[in-house]
Structure 1
Amino acid sequence: MALSSVPEQPVVVDGRRLTCEHVRRVARDQAPVRVHPDGVARARAAYEAVRAVQVEQPVYGRTTGVGANRSVEVTEPAHGLRLLRSHAGGAGPLLDAARTRAMLLVRLNQLAAGGSGVDPAMLDVLAEVLNRGLVPPVRTFGSIGTGDLTALASVALCLIGEAPWQYGSLEPYRLDPADALAFISSNAATVGEAALSLADARELLYASIVIAALAFLAVDGNPEPYAEAVHEARPHPGQQAVAARLRELLADQPIKPARIQDPFSYRAVPQVHGPAIDAAIHLERVLAIEMNSAGENPLVDARHRRVLHNGNFHTAYLGLALDAMRVALFQTSALSAARLSTLMEPEFTGQRPFLAAGPEGSSGLMILEYVAQSALAHLRQHAAPAALATAVVSRGVEEHATFSSQAARNTSEAVYAYRVVLSCELVATVRALRMRGLTPAPGALREAYELADAALSPVTTDRSLDEDLDQAARVLPQLAGL
């Protein structure tokens, strides 16, 4: 996979300041990376410390076996290579390039945080892999939330030349077999996918408020539910933020409420969308810690020249935050689908059913309700908490699992479905505004309307709406930027 256009500003990897947006830039836009000297220094300190410690005491995975073999002393140098070969046993379809690149970036940053004991030369090697667009063949199934061992073992085999890259090639890296477990003992694949999903979800959450405000205009909504006093009376942060944004968007608009009280899909937008905003903020905090920490087992404490065996491989924080994010996405997505239904009703728009035009009995946008409900069902299916499951493996020694890897995958699916629901609402909203001859007053809503109006076909006779939905999906990031 050749890098077609490289942004001028690289993402600096120092083990301390990686963000979800950085992950998206590198994974999706192929932004280059540069390793900061501080990250190399931390990695080197851990590297030197663990080599001094392992000659004095057992170190899990370096001088012992792993899992239920933790008490088995290992002296053969090739043990680390056998570990990589035996753990690179994933199954299912290959991860796409973006999720794989996200994993590589997160693991690089974790190594720069110090604590793994891996040779610091590995940092430059991973940076080169990212900058050259190399993609290792990583399978979908293999992790249960206690370390993405199969994924990272597959990466390691590519690095040492035992497995082919999907795209391009690299001079084999001479990995010290003692570093094998230290390299693969990470949840980088799970964290990377979660970071991508959050970056996408956050964008959609912002776009959704803009679309809801446009739909509000299309049905002559009542703005009382967004009044500041209402939300001061019950001051949840996300609720207040959403209400404030709606007031800002609707300021100076010629509003003539048609009802004393609107349906919940308009009246309760702050109360339903606010929790999704709060869930996204919480997930971002969790991911910031996960991406910028040395969550290693064992952890090399270079400062005190010791090795600490621990449970930082356990991702309960991340799994629970992802579960909460998906449930909140379902709630606000259901509200979007409900607004879509109001736009099909003459009672709310004053137009024909389904915003149809042409001969009597025309279907108009009828099918969009089916599409939205199909996407909503997909979202609901993937919103079930992954944390409700666990597993006992490795002869009972590892007796708990978070399934955060499944939570991250489900979140990707949920975000995909949410995008479809919002696209349906946007297509219907723009048509309703056009048919009513309504153009928002100057400001952010006018900009939003003009962006969508320019992208969506003006043809109202019955026809395929596939391209309309695709175009609407492309506009969503621009609406979020407003």
Structure 2
Amino acid sequence: MPEVVLDGVELTAEQVRSVARSKAPVLVHPDGLVRANAAHQTVSALSAAGQVYGRTTGVGANRLVAVAYESNAGPVVLGPEGSVLPADAPIPDPVPEPVRHDAHGLRLLRSHAGGAGPLLDPVSVRAMLTVRLNQLAAGGSGVSPHLLHGLAEALNRGLTPPVHAFGGIGTGDLPALAVTALCLLGEVPWRGGTMDPIPFDPADALSFISSNAGSLGEAALACADLSELLRASTVITALAFLAGDGNSEAYEAVVHLARPHAGQQTVAARLRDLLAGQPVKAARIQDPYSYRAVPQVHGPALDAVVALERTLGIELNSASENPLVDPVGNRVLHNANFHTAYLGLALDAIRNALFQTAALSVARLSLMLEPAFTGLSPFLASGPPGSSGLMILEYVAHSALGALRLNAMPTSLATAVVSRGVEEHAPFSSQAARNSLDAVGDYRIVLAAELVAAVRALRMRGTTPVDGPLADAFAYAAERLPGRLDDRPLDQDVEDAAALLPGLAEF
């Protein structure tokens, strides 16, 4: 598995997924370490001379409460070209003194490590660690480069902190990152193994946890997954189109030049490519919406995922901490870059668009079970009269669509007032990211059910796509899905079909 270089500049959602799911190793780019060290030296000097939120003051409503500046950080020694040593090497000397038990920063971490609910899947937590490490490499936090080294080591050893589901509201994943810091300190055990504690200056506490890395990590996973599933959906639509003798007139280029939305044109062009040269009979002068309106409904979902990718391209590579350290100007700037309204709104948009196109998928499934549409037996059954065939898949798909409908509810309509009224707005993008990951699972089931029906219908009709990408996609699916047509449990068919979706996205 190729390593992912984290430089604070070019991290993508696909790379986050590669590290989180496939356990690709990470390497911090030397430039990121140099930026982090410059900010660390700047904020340490400024904190010793004056007020810096979270370092010489309390946080939230305690922002006006002065606290002693208790840094135990010595100068950080970087390796060649600004790098720290590899993840399995010891921290270079000199290292900070042991953290004082009563230091303000340590109390802050302990008090904020208060998440609740079930523990998150390690994949989501690895996504969070990847994002936070890349953010720190952007160089605005002021934390010691030792912490970048520690996060890289944890990722490369397969360790995750015990992060609970509840605690973030879109203005900072404070509980999740606080417990991460306590794992780095050695106070809380890692999940999956052990590693030596990392030197942690208590003055870096707020700077480390001032981030929405958890929400961004889950959003990145959802974005990469949805981009893949939306590509697979167009291929499945083309297979269902053949099974139902659709009318390709609705996909003609002149139609979509008449209303040239980007996603709509992309979908129509892809369908034209897939269906080129296929034995399409055009059984009707005008198809139902689930065929005729695919570009107009699936297109907005493509546009929404592009917009989410654009938002994540900024968020994943930004310095979002408060305060922001500006080494060039030798100052710290108190700000609200931690607020994730852009992210929450983009996630709400993709889930809403996803529900619309998923509804068309369920409708196509229903059409393929209808003899008047396919000329085949009811429910694509094969056996004695009254056989059920794929009848139950219609229920399964609607059940998944119902869950997707709930997950599509906009979280950005909520807000919160916390910390004695000082923090009086919240976008709830943490919930938007979690709902988006859940929506991925719902949509995967919907597509899997449609794929099972499309492959069976084509088999029963004796229709094989002509040479080209659609023929290759059909062969890929047909070779891996059971060919039996008798009434039997279909749960494994749906599971097998779901596993084929990433491969179908590549045709």
TM-score bracket relative to the smaller structure: over 0.9
Q: Deviations over 1:123-165 (max 9, x none)?
A: 1111111000011100000000000000000100111010011
Picking from 44, 49, 53, the partner of 1:60 is: 53
Rounded Cα–Cα distance in structure 2 between residues aligned with 1:337 and 1:182: 47
Question: What letter is aligned with 2:370?
Answer: E
Q: Deviations over 1:375-407 (max 9, x none)?
A: 000000110000000000000000000000000
User: Counterpart in 2 of 1:235?
Assistant: 260
Rounded Cα–Cα distance in structure 2 between residues aligned with 1:41 and 1:130: 21
Q: Deviations over 1:347-401 (max 9, x none)?
A: 1111111000100000000000000000000000110000000000000000000
1:173-212 equivalences under 5 Å are 173-212=198-237
Higher deviation after alignment, 74-83 or 335-344: 74-83
Rounded Cα–Cα distance in structure 2 between residues aligned with 1:361 and 1:305: 79
Instruction: Name the SS for the 2:219 alignment partner.
Output: helix
With normalisation by structure 2, the TM-score equals: 0.93
User: Counterpart in 2 of 1:39?
Assistant: 32
Q: Deviations over 1:211-230 (max 9, x none)?
A: 00000000000001100000
Using the TM superposition, give the Cα deviation of residue 76 of structure 1 relative to its aligned residue in structure 2, in angstroms.
6.1
Rounded Cα–Cα distance in structure 2 between residues aligned with 1:311 and 1:268: 42
User: Counterpart in 2 of 1:414?
Assistant: 439
Give the superposed CA RMSD.
0.6
Picking from 248, 268, 272, the partner of 2:297 is: 272
Picking from 292, 306, 316, the partner of 1:291 is: 316
User: Counterpart in 2 of 1:448?
Assistant: 473
User: Counterpart in 1 of 2:484?
Assistant: 459
Instruction: Name the SS for the 1:307 alignment partner.
Output: strand
Question: What letter is aligned with 1:472?
Answer: A
1:108-147 equivalences under 5 Å are 108-147=133-172
Instruction: Name the SS for the 2:165 alignment partner.
Output: strand
Picking from 456, 464, 468, the partner of 1:439 is: 464
Rounded Cα–Cα distance in structure 2 between residues aligned with 1:34 and 1:213: 42
Using the TM superposition, give the Cα deviation of residue 120 of structure 1 relative to its aligned residue in structure 2, in angstroms.
1.2
| CA separation of 1:329 and 1:89: change in aligned 2, threshold 3 A | same
Rounded Cα–Cα distance in structure 1 between residues aligned with 2:8 and 2:146: 15
User: Counterpart in 2 of 1:321?
Assistant: 346
Rounded Cα–Cα distance in structure 2 between residues aligned with 1:326 and 1:252: 34
Q: Deviations over 1:237-265 (max 9, x none)?
A: 00000000000000111211000000000
Instruction: Name the SS for the 1:260 alignment partner.
Output: coil
Rounded Cα–Cα distance in structure 1 between residues aligned with 2:230 and 2:8: 28
Rounded Cα–Cα distance in structure 2 between residues aligned with 1:125 and 1:398: 31
Question: What letter is aligned with 1:290?
Answer: E
Picking from 178, 186, 195, the partner of 1:170 is: 195
Rounded Cα–Cα distance in structure 2 between residues aligned with 1:120 and 1:171: 16
User: Counterpart in 1 of 2:16?
Assistant: 23
Rounded Cα–Cα distance in structure 1 between residues aligned with 2:199 and 2:282: 71
Rounded Cα–Cα distance in structure 2 between residues aligned with 1:35 and 1:20: 17
User: Counterpart in 2 of 1:311?
Assistant: 336
Pair 1:365 & 2:365 matched: no
User: Counterpart in 2 of 1:380?
Assistant: 405
Using the TM superposition, give the Cα deviation of residue 109 of structure 1 relative to its aligned residue in structure 2, in angstroms.
0.1
Question: What letter is aligned with 1:119?
Answer: S
User: Counterpart in 2 of 1:4?
Assistant: none
Rounded Cα–Cα distance in structure 2 between residues aligned with 1:14 and 1:135: 21
Pair 1:255 & 2:248 matched: no
Rounded Cα–Cα distance in structure 1 between residues aligned with 2:33 and 2:199: 18
Question: What letter is aligned with 2:238?
Answer: A
Rounded Cα–Cα distance in structure 1 between residues aligned with 2:438 and 2:155: 25
User: Counterpart in 2 of 1:11?
Assistant: 4
With normalisation by structure 1, the TM-score equals: 0.98
User: Counterpart in 1 of 2:44?
Assistant: 51
Using the TM superposition, give the Cα deviation of residue 32 of structure 1 relative to its aligned residue in structure 2, in angstroms.
0.3
Instruction: Name the SS for the 1:25 alignment partner.
Output: helix
CA contact (8 A) 2:56 2:69 kept: no
Identity of aligned residues (%): 68
User: Counterpart in 1 of 2:84?
Assistant: none
Using the TM superposition, give the Cα deviation of residue 57 of structure 1 relative to its aligned residue in structure 2, in angstroms.
2.3
CA contact (8 A) 2:371 2:377 kept: yes
CA contact (8 A) 2:55 2:69 kept: no
CA contact (8 A) 2:146 2:199 kept: no
Question: What letter is aligned with 1:410?
Answer: N
Q: Deviations over 1:54-77 (max 9, x none)?
A: 123211100000000000000063
Matched residue pairs, number? 475
Pair 1:74 & 2:67 matched: yes
- Structure 1 segments unaligned to the other structure (5+ residues): 1-6
Instruction: Name the SS for the 2:363 alignment partner.
Output: helix
Rounded Cα–Cα distance in structure 1 between residues aligned with 2:284 and 2:417: 57
- Structure 2 segments unaligned to the other structure (5+ residues): 71-102
Higher deviation after alignment, 50-59 or 242-251: 50-59
Rounded Cα–Cα distance in structure 1 between residues aligned with 2:202 and 2:147: 13
Rounded Cα–Cα distance in structure 2 between residues aligned with 1:51 and 1:174: 16
User: Counterpart in 2 of 1:404?
Assistant: 429
Q: After TM superposition, where is structure 1 displaced by more than 3 Å over at least 4 residues in a row?
A: none
